[in-house]
Amino acid sequence: MSGAVDEQGAWLVAVAMPQEGELVAARLEGPSTVGGRPLYRGRVGARGLWLLVTGMGLVNAAQAVTAVLERLPRPAALLSLGCAGAYPGSGLEVGAAAVAREVVLADHGVRTQRRLHSLEVVGIPLARDRRGRGVYHRFPCDPGLVESLAGGRLATGTFATVVQVSGDPATAAVLARRWGAVLEDMESAALAQLALHYRLPFAALRGVSNLAGRRELDLRAGAEAAQRALLAALGEEP
């Protein structure tokens, strides 16, 4: 149900494509435009919610969320919502939803003829955590948000954020083994890095639209699975 937003307690929810947020947007007001991107605002259950449509990929996601964080009151948390591809061995099928315990920048590193080496070989971290430790690829999600979203109902694990989507099962299997990941998406780790910079709790909730490495997509199934899981976590009937 729509209503006035609790600005102190609102979650900022970022989706890449409109269809990844249409069930949630129907419960909110708007859109207005911030940073050239559509933003819906309102309340779902007891939670103030902002839904931002960012566009696909790392740069679009980072630009859109940064614009909101710099122009509007500070949200209570940042959430990446949308579709993803499930890796072999994850046990996740099309239409399932999962919550990240960590997200990784899976394509970053040093490329040689034989393999992709991690950023640690460069020795320059992308960011530093609150203890001053270097962060290269792996961004942990907020444990409280993870438990709130998963609620013992959803699978949890590592999500790999990629620029190059897996084009065949063999490529998907390599990424799954390298990172111990269950899903791949194209935005979550960029948003996790932003959340670390702005000191915001972060989580990622994704619905499976395809098996990674296979291009038969069911975007609606993945988008609806993620949104229904979010609504359930907020105490709302999908």
Domain with residue 60: its CATH number is 3.40.50.1580
Residue 238 lies in a domain: no
pLDDT tens-digit readout, 40-70? 999 998 899 999 999 999 999 999 999 999 9
Residue 212 lies in a domain: yes
Residue 191 lies in a domain: yes
3-class SS string, 7-68: CCCCEEEEECCHHHCHHHHCCCEEEEEECCEEEEEEEECCEEEEEEECCCCHHHHHHHHHHH
Residue 155 lies in a domain: yes
Residue 3 lies in a domain: no
pLDDT tens-digit readout, 142-156? 999 999 999 999 999
49: which 2 tokens? 């919610």
Residue 4 lies in a domain: no
Residue 5 lies in a domain: no
| Count of structural domains, the chain | 1
User: Which DSSP helix (H) or strand (E) runs through 169?
Assistant: helix 169-179
pLDDT tens-digit readout, 98-137? 999 999 998 876 676 677 767 776 777 777 888 878 777 8
| Residue among 136, 118, 140 at smallest CA distance from 127 | 136
Q: Structure pTM?
A: 0.91
- Paired residues of 205 in beta bridges: 81, 99
Q: What is the pLDDT of residue 79?
A: 98
Residue 160 lies in a domain: yes
Q: For residue 61, what are the domain limits?
A: 11-233
